[in-house]
Amino acid sequence: MEPFYVIERILRNRGGFFDEIREGDELGRKTRNMLIGAVLFFAIYGAVLGISNSVVQALSSAIKLPILYLITLAICLPTLYFFNLLFGSRLTLAQTFALIMTAIAVTAVLTLSFAPIALFFWLTAPSYQFYKLLNVGILTITGVAGLSFLWQGMRHVHEGKGMGVRNFILWIWIFVYGFVGTQMAWTLRPFFGAPGLPFQIFRDLGGNFYVNILRSMVDLLISIVG
């Protein structure tokens, strides 16, 4: 239960937690527990995404959802670290990683908290397009909430010093992080499994995440109006 306890500490006493990251207090242990908690919580929610199609899809999505967030982190971490370093940050790579893991861990536990709601709508309104849009909305909301912790953490560990340029860097990084994440999600799809299609671990690349979501919105609207 230690991973859950660490994430609960972040939510209850984020200032104290960020102080410990700034001081380098048990960084390895904190990061490891956040990582374990995030993987577990995302895996559970991934199963919720896939269960709307089949048990096999649920298992596949339970594996792929944590991978989605971790690969996105691995791709984007060097950019934030080196640009902060360029503009005078004294954070080590381990501290930067811990701050980003804070955001991902918070995202994971908030996402898990939505699992009962997602399951409720799957049972009561079994529409593929609606279920897909509902979960994309949930992942967007929890992702934004998680990244707000990264924003607060960056400001806290730097004690507000020289945050003008760093704020700009962080805004750009968050935009890049979101874009990389959506593209990675498109690459790793399916997470839901479309009705009438056989189970696939991955689908052929092609199309676009944003166009697909827009098409789903149109299809859902047509089904409601029609």
Q: Per this entry, what is the length of the chain?
A: 226
Instruction: Give percent above pLDDT 90 in the chain.
Output: 63
State how far the alpha carbon of 23 is from the alpha carbons of 16, 90, 98, 186, in Å: 11, 11, 12, 38
pLDDT confidence band for 90 (50 / 70 / 90): confident
Maximum Cα–Cα distance across the chain: 60
Query: pLDDT tens digits for 131-151?
Result: 999 999 999 999 999 999 999
- Whole-angstrom distance, CA of residue 212 vs CA of residue 16: 42
State how far the alpha carbon of 221 is from the alpha carbons of 63, 90, 225, in Å: 32, 51, 6
- Whole-angstrom distance, CA of residue 106 vs CA of residue 65: 15
What average pLDDT does this structure show over 179-199? 89
State how far the alpha carbon of 127 is from the alpha carbons of 109, 131, 157, 158, 189, in Å: 26, 6, 45, 47, 19
In the DSSP assignment, the letter for residue 196 is T
Mean pLDDT of the chain: 90
Query: pLDDT tens digits for 64-76?
Result: 999 999 999 999 9
What count of other Cβ atoms lies within 10 Å of the Cβ of residue 137? 12
- Whole-angstrom distance, CA of residue 155 vs CA of residue 169: 12
* Structure confidence at residue 226 (pLDDT): 62
Query: pLDDT tens digits for 7-48?
Result: 889 999 999 999 999 999 999 999 999 999 999 999 999 999
- Whole-angstrom distance, CA of residue 172 vs CA of residue 164: 13
- Whole-angstrom distance, CA of residue 156 vs CA of residue 39: 26
* Structure confidence at residue 30 (pLDDT): 94
Sign for the pseudo-dihedral over CA of 44, 49, 52, 53: negative
